């Protein structure tokens, strides 16, 4: 087994929200298509679909699924992150985990959990405690 603690940043390249259910009496539902670039201990590109519950004050809760293509600890492949988090004011705070069985290439067997945090319009700081059971 190999394991480590990854830190880094995410820069959002595209952010494409689309409301798919709205109401005057409750929160709106929004799907957001995002592409991102990872730097630091994780190098690569990500493609995400977020589903958001957006309240009248602009705060939101969200879930997402993201495929990351790139390198981690000099290993190349892809893996999927499952995200959840909140937006309060301009502060984004969330957690994620590697979907078991989603690693490919040199990242087959990857597992892990981590966090991300950002101010809207800026990069996100990320962590991932990971292990590869191979």
Instruction: Give residue 134's pLDDT band: very low, low, confident or very high (50, 70, 90).
Output: low
Radius of gyration in angstroms for the set of CA atoms belonging to the chain, rounded to a whole number? 15
- Convert the pLDDT of each residue in 112-128 to its tens digit: 999 999 998 889 999 99
Instruction: Give residue 24's pLDDT band: very low, low, confident or very high (50, 70, 90).
Output: confident
For the segment 34-44, the average pLDDT, to the nearest whole number, is: 97
For the segment 35-63, the average pLDDT, to the nearest whole number, is: 97
Domains and CATH numbers, the chain: 2-132 (2.40.350.10)
């Amino acid at each position: 087994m190999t394991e480590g603690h990854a830190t880094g940043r995410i820069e959002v390249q595209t952010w494409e929200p689309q409301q798919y259910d709205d109401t005057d009496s409750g929160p709106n539902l929004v799907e957001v298509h995002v592409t991102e670039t990872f730097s630091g201990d994780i190098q690569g590109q990500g493609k995400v679909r977020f589903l958001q519950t957006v309240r009248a004050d602009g705060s939101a809760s969200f879930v997402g699924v993201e495929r990351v293509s790139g390198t981690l600890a000099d290993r190349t492949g892809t893996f999927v992150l499952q995200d959840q988090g909140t937006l309060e004011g301009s502060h984004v705070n969330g957690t994620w985990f590697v979907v078991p069985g989603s690693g490919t290439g040199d990242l087959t067997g990857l597992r892990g959990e981590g966090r991300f945090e950002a101010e809207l319009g800026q990069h996100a700081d990320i962590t991932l405690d990971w292990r590869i059971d191979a």
